Copies of this chain bind each other. A is one copy, B any other.
Amino acid sequence: MAFKKKETPPGETAAQNVAALITAEIFDQFDLGLQLPSETELAARFKVSRVTVREALKLLAGRGLINLSRGRRAAIQQPDGAMFGAFLQALIHSDPRAVFDLTQVRRSLEVQSVTLACRNASRSGIDVVTSALAVMREIAQSMPEGEANVEVGQAFDHADVKFHQSIALAGGNRVLTFLFEAMEGALIESFKRSRRFQKRSRDTLLSVCDEHAQVLEHVQLKDERAAIEALLALIDRSEANLRSSSGMNVRSRM
């Protein structure tokens, strides 16, 4: 990897400058997993101390561009939705009403996701969705009959989100897949909050699984209309829970 040398920038710090230079190189040859030179080497190239290089690398790591781990060199990484997700969580934390903004957006993205899955899903893509559903069922079965277990409920929510992600993946749109990944954290967080005072029995979870199974079934048959209908029914119920538990007044459906 060939880095260009550059003197000193005006108002910016050296670390920012180095970060920008490395970023440019990463964009130039965007090979995932490719390793950057060692910190000492970078320091020599840019004529700065290793500390400065390290701070630049931390900046890039914060942006999700590279992966740092002890003993190993920095590796170019595909950014995931983590950072965007962090923003969403912060937004929702600062104003809980923003959850509904999120679910509103989510609804239209889900519709598109299912539509694309109907059109583009390969056999292997469907398999992933199927196994995601199987995981949901498994977790639902593990819910004790008598008293509802909170941890199992959270695991179920996690599997639920994964199911929707797998549909986005099957649809083949990378931007959409990314967005679903990014929304994951915020969605689970909002689920958790909405279910603080709301216990769910095993039967409840299993019925949720059945709803999801219907969506999957229609996707397999490439029946867009039916799939969307099943999906919307599912999301409506989920949002209704969210609203009732948080005591917000209902917004018009979109």
Contact = CB atoms under 8 A, between A and B. Distances in A.
A27 B87 CA distance: 10
B112 A254 contact: yes
Interface residues of A, number: 51
Interface string A67-79: 0001000000001
Interface stretch (A39-47, A57-65, A149-157, A194-202): A57-65
A179 B87 CA distance: 11
Contacts of A182: 84
Taking chain A's interface residues, is the majority helix, strand, or loop, or is none over half, making it mixed?
helix
B94 A30 contact: yes
A90 B65 contact: yes
A249 interface: no
Nearest to A56: B58
A30 B105 contact: no
A122 B93 CA distance: 26
Given A55-B55, A119-B252, A30 B93 contact: yes
Contacts of A55: 54-55, 58
Nearest to A26: B90
A57 to B, nearest CB: 9
Interface stretch (A137-145, A169-177, A215-223): A169-177
A7 interface: no
B104 A173 contact: yes
Contacts of A13: 70
A207 to B, nearest CB: 29
A111 interface: yes
Contacts of A17: none
A88 to B, nearest CB: 7
A65 B88 CA distance: 12
